[in-house]
Each structure stands twice: as structure tokens, then as C-alpha cells.
Amino acid sequence: MRAGFPIATKGMVIGLLGGSFDPAHEGHVHITREAIKRMGLDRVWWLVSPGNPLKARQPAPMPQRLARARSVMPDPRVVISDLEARLGTRATADTLDALRKLYPGVHFVWLMGADNLVQFHRWGRWRDILRSVPVGVLARPGAGVAARTSVAARAFQVHQLSRGENLRSHRAPAWCFVNIPLNAASSSAIRAKGEWKR
């Protein structure tokens, strides 16, 4: 494996949580721990993105966001990574294509908060994402109904599983909505309060 890339061996189940993490916060930690516990994941990789194509504002510098993420998530089962910058990818579908080639035999599961499922149909090649890896959607405050009735949820309704644990053994297309205790922390609220300085 190339330097700077996480280690994973054939047969491992790795959850991928992508985002700008600008900044990383307790909400990210909460959904990560719940996903590990409920979906039986071996590891979770936080993919700290160079930038979000759907957002106009530029995030804080990558080293600052990586350092903050490592400080709030000191769990040995979680890898904080700038993989997308190393791979030269920006779109999730392209990142997944590259990771599947780099890690043959590793079972990836894409993780997202329910708020992301609401606008998932705006992501590039979103149907390809749902067809290529199982997707675990974790409840977020105020997004439950909108997520369950979203364009993506309706389009892939026939592939919805009833329990998150099933994602460990299912192949795509497969997705689940997992109800978890809610944590209201958000990056935009932290920035608005001035608690995250560049």
C-alpha cells in the first residue's frame, strides 16, 4: 500500500464517512460510534474532503481540519484521512471507484447523516454510488421524514433493509436508515458561534 494510505486487509468491512469536517464535532463522533456498533464495522475512515462541490464557501485549510478531527475522535478504530486529496478525487463516486481498485476484497459501506440523504440526488453519479456500495443512513435532528421521502430513498426503496446490521453482509444496492439517539451538533452552528477559528 502506498505511504499515507490506511491499511485494510481482504474481508474487512470499512465504513466511509466523507465530508468537509469544517470543523469535526461531537455529532460526527456520535454517528461514527453508532455505525460501528450497529453495523458491525471493523473500522471507519473519515474522508476529510478538499472541498464540497455543493458548497460555495471554501473550508478551513486541510491540516487544520485534520488536526481538529484527530483531537475529537481519538478512537483506534477510526482513521482520519485526506485520502481524496491524495487520490485527486472530489466526487464521492470517483473516490469509491479508486478505493475499490486499491483495496480488492475490502467491503466498503458509505455512511451519511440523514440530512445528506435529503439532497443526495444532487451528488454526481448518485445512482452509481448506491449501486456500488451499501449505504448506511444515520438519523440526524429534523431530517427523518425528509430523508425517508427523498428522491434517492424513493428511487431505491426496493433495496432498503430494515436493520443496519445487515449492511455487513449485504452487497449493493442495499441501504438502511438507522434510528439512533440524536445529537444536534453541526459544523455550521459551531462556525456561526465563532468557536472555530481559521
What structural domains does the chain harbor? 13-192 (3.40.50.620)
Distance of alpha carbon 54 from alpha carbon 94, whole angstroms: 16
Rounding to the nearest 10 degrees, give the CA dihedral for residues 95, 164, 160, 48.
-20
Regarding pTM above 0.75, the answer is yes
E-strand stretches of the chain = 13-19, 43-48, 78-81, 107-113, 135-138, 160-161, 175-178
- Residue 59's pLDDT is what? 87
Percent of the chain with pLDDT over 90: 64
Residues 24-76 have pLDDT tens digits of 998 899 999 999 988 889 999 999 998 766 566 788 999 999 999 999 999 99
